[in-house]
């Protein structure tokens, strides 16, 4: 065995795919942004989610993945529209609030969080987020213990000058702020 192969073999540790904790840990090595997915209506709901991504520019689509046992799953099944707020640095408390299963049900869960109604649908949008998306539910696809909800954008907005809140290996953080550093040829000098 070559020294490189021996080093790689020693560093790699196989994950038991039947062990949810190990698998979650392996997935958690991929740093993600943090979002709050919301629905409006008679019983508005919010949920912290990091399973979010852009999908298509034409038509403009995004997706969120939601556990089938989550209250948000039932809310998304019933709702024709939903919102997504991408949290900015300094919004860890908001992420933790919407991840807390003991928060109030319905409109009460938004009482301690700054938010505003969307322009195109009634899903609350989190104030101070780096971006907001309002979507009509376009498709839903079975994905094991989750459902992939595809949303077609109705509106999108950005807040200039805000950094993103990240989630990596079970911890919140934000990327190094390089916006004010000199840039040369697309690289930080």
pLDDT of residue 10: 56
pLDDT of residue 160: 82
CB atoms within 10 A of CB 61: 17
Q: How many domains does the chain have?
A: 1
CATH of the domain at 114: 2.30.110.10
Whether 73 maps to a domain, the answer reads yes
Residue 182 pLDDT greater than 80, yes or no: no
pLDDT of residue 176: 52
The pLDDT tens digits for 63-116 are: 999 999 999 999 999 999 999 999 999 999 999 999 999 999 999 999 999 999
Whether 180 maps to a domain, the answer reads no
Q: What is the mean pLDDT of residues 151-171?
A: 89
Whether 36 maps to a domain, the answer reads no
pLDDT of residue 41: 93
> Which position has the token pair 């995004």?
62
Tell me, yes or no, if the pTM score tops 0.75. Answer: yes
Q: Is 15 helix (H, G, I), strand (E, B) or coil?
A: coil
The whole domain housing 127 covers: 68-166
pLDDT of residue 35: 96
For residues 73 and 66, give the distance between their C-alpha atoms in angstroms, rounded to a whole number. 6
Whether 151 maps to a domain, the answer reads yes
For residues 50 and 37, give the distance between their C-alpha atoms in angstroms, rounded to a whole number. 10
Whether 118 maps to a domain, the answer reads yes
Q: Answer with the residue of higher pLDDT: 11 or 33.
A: 33
For residues 165 and 170, give the distance between their C-alpha atoms in angstroms, rounded to a whole number. 13
The pLDDT tens digits for 133-144 are: 999 999 999 999
pLDDT of residue 169: 81
Per-residue confidence band for 184, with pLDDT thresholds at 50, 70 and 90: very low
Per-residue confidence band for 9, with pLDDT thresholds at 50, 70 and 90: low
Per-residue confidence band for 172, with pLDDT thresholds at 50, 70 and 90: confident
* Alpha helices by DSSP H, the chain: 3-11, 20-27, 71-78, 92-99
Whether 54 maps to a domain, the answer reads no
Annotate 92-129 with DSSP letters as a single string.
HHHHHHHH-TTSPSGGGGGTTS-EEE-SSSS-EEETT-
CB atoms within 10 A of CB 54: 11
Whether 33 maps to a domain, the answer reads no
Whether 72 maps to a domain, the answer reads yes
């Amino acid at each position: 065995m070559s020294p490189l192969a021996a080093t790689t073999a020693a560093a790699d540790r196989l994950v038991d795919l039947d062990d949810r904790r190990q698998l979650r840990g392996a997935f958690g090595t991929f740093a993600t942004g943090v979002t709050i997915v919301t629905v409006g209506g008679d019983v508005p709901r919010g949920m912290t989610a990091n399973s979010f991504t852009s999908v298509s520019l034409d038509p403009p689509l995004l997706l969120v993945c939601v556990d089938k046992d989550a209250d948000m799953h039932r809310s998304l099944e019933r709702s024709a529209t939903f919102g997504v707020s991408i949290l900015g640095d300094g919004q860890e408390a908001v992420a933790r609030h919407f991840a807390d299963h003991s928060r109030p049900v319905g409109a009460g869960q938004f009482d301690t969080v700054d938010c505003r109604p969307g322009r195109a649908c009634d899903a609350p949008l989190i104030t101070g987020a780096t971006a907001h998306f309002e979507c009509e539910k376009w498709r839903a696809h079975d994905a094991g213990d989750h459902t992939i909800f595809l949303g077609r954008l109705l509106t999108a907005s950005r807040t200039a000058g805000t950094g993103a809140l990240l989630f990596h290996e079970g911890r919140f953080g934000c990327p190094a702020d390089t916006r004010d550093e000199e840039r040369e040829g697309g690289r930080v000098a």
